[in-house]
Structure 1
């Protein structure tokens, strides 16, 4: 879904977009997350000279996989956002170094005189997904030896006294002690 900057310029007023985006419409890696139902968004797009201001509210119900126990769980997100976009600068830097000012890192860029609202919503959802999702703080995860879910009870494995990655060093220590 694109907002065309020329049309926005001719309107002389902000554009309000209220839309529900399905999982198929959004660019979200479904190995990381899924949507329980369409993500609801209310977005106001304003034009300030060549700059485009995007303000909005987003609500979505995500289905995430716990990084400890591998079970899926639901997480509701409700967030507001304010973003600024500028025309993508044409830079001829083949073979040359190119640097950005700190302020350039705080803005997005649009090309071809249009802004993809779908990409804005996708980005905001992805930013809300934790790097290591956890179903609850007390999640014990899986046994590293047998794979049993430790949230359902203890397993029968004997705890290892030494990290298996360090066992070769323990063997060297034993030989040196002989």
Structure 2
């Protein structure tokens, strides 16, 4: 059995370095497969999202201020980008994710919990070894399942580069429509 790679020097939590488990995923890589749990306890497999441009927004917990704002912003801004979807991933329990979506008034938000087996987190290299949470990161995946944007946020308490993420998604969606 292969050991899961450990990476340091990628991100910090409140200024303290943390260890990320899993390989780094970068631009040009094929998007790794994963399975999450939806708020209704059904499986969310990466294959079910194929064929469209998607922003995969990774947060430590929906119930923290930066994660809440990140999730709201991507769900609001994606509306003007065409056939682009947003998937927010955390290790929050599916029940907590459902509660957050209801309280936030975000109907139809696609959220997935990686609490069960860290399938997503280890495939995308975002599992924080010290806390069993996911590091803040954002990936844009095109309709051909190629990563066109990858950002591991250097400090977990900071926001991602929203403009760069949205520009990558818009470009990928324009390329999809032109194909």
| TM-score tier (shorter) | under 0.3
Structure whose residues are more often helix by fraction: 2
RCO higher in 1 or 2 (8 Å CA, sep ≥ 6)? 2
Higher Rg of the two aligned structures: 1
TM-score (norm: length of structure 1): 0.26
TM-score (norm: length of structure 2): 0.26
